[in-house]
Structure 1
């Protein structure tokens, strides 16, 4: 099955958005390892309705106007990965969780390393906020977009929370 794709500029570099007819499949980084998220053939289609909605919502996020996303998601992974990725959606904007906390949230308290591996394969970066997952001491750990992008995303969310109402 061929998937639709488009590239959008962002403060963290060019992002490749990928969608099926069912929903958003991936948000990939400019220098993403092609083996991290395996998708198959992609066809450029900036007019795809899911891709247009995703680009609009991501622009709103980067502008500090959006704290969550309302998009149909087409997860592609194992049941365990999907459970981890769904748990990412429960981490509130501007907050972080450790891998251990995420493992406990999915009912697998001893699976921190497996949670880390699934988090690293999250195909929906930013939308499913894997950047909000940090090491047990609160330190930044590996991130497909790079630690600089992770730091920028976390800083963006902190600044939004600090704006006066």
Structure 2
């Protein structure tokens, strides 16, 4: 059964979906009124809410939630590689491609990173340009900067040319 909630956080509204006891989606809800909630509030959703809020308050550096992102085998490899980036650290798309087992697939890795269905917990915000600048983020660069600053990560603000 699919269950979902929207939570208010310091960075805006977040949509969390859980299916069969695992988180399948965490996304930025913003002012999106087309999101429909389903099911009930489960212990997994309550724990996800608690851990996300704790992270955003600077009290948590890792997550311990069951995850089940839906995607292709390649996307799954990329998302697994994202989970190896420690709190407060950043890597380039090239490094992410290497960690995902295909160092020449930087563009494909970038697209898989962009399609990450469980933002923040699967830390796609920790991937930056090779020159250390912030590039691309579904929630926008200001939010990416906020998350990296929260974690104390090093980066150069702004988009690479």
TM-score range, shorter chain: 0.7 to 0.9
Instruction: Choose which of 61, 66, 85 in structure 1 pairs with 2:60.
Output: 66
Correspondence 1:43 to 2:38 = yes
Moved over 4 A (4+): none
Larger RCO of the pair (alpha carbons < 8 Å, separation 6+)? 1
What are the ranges of 5 or more consecutive residues in structure 1 without an aligned counterpart?
34-39, 160-165
**By how many angstroms is 1:22 displaced?**
3.5
Distance 2:97 2:128 in 1: 13
Task: Give the structure 1 partner of residue 50 of structure 2.
Answer: 56
Determine which of 142, 147, 150 is the counterpart of 2:144: 150
Counterpart contact for 1:3–1:41, Cα < 8 Å? no
Which position in structure 2 is the counterpart of 1:17? 16
In the alignment, the residues of structure 2 paired with residue 123 and residue 84 of structure 1 have an alpha-carbon distance, to the nearest angstrom, of: 12
How does the TM-score come out when normalised to structure 1?
Answer: 0.86
Query: How large is the Cα RMSD of the aligned pairs?
Result: 1.9
Residues 32, 144 of structure 1: 8 Å contact kept: no
Q: Deviations over 1:51-81 (max 9, x none)?
A: 1110000011011111000000012000000
Partner of 1:77: 71
For the residues of structure 2 that align with 1:85 and 1:4, how far apart are their CA atoms?
Answer: 22
Name whichever of 112-121 and 14-23 sits farther off. 14-23
Q: CA deviation at 1:30?
A: 2.1
* TM-score computed with the length of structure 2 as normaliser: 0.88
2:98 is equivalent to residue 104 of structure 1? yes
Q: State the SS of the aligned residue for 2:152.
A: helix
Q: Distance in 2 between matches of 1:72 and 1:107?
A: 24
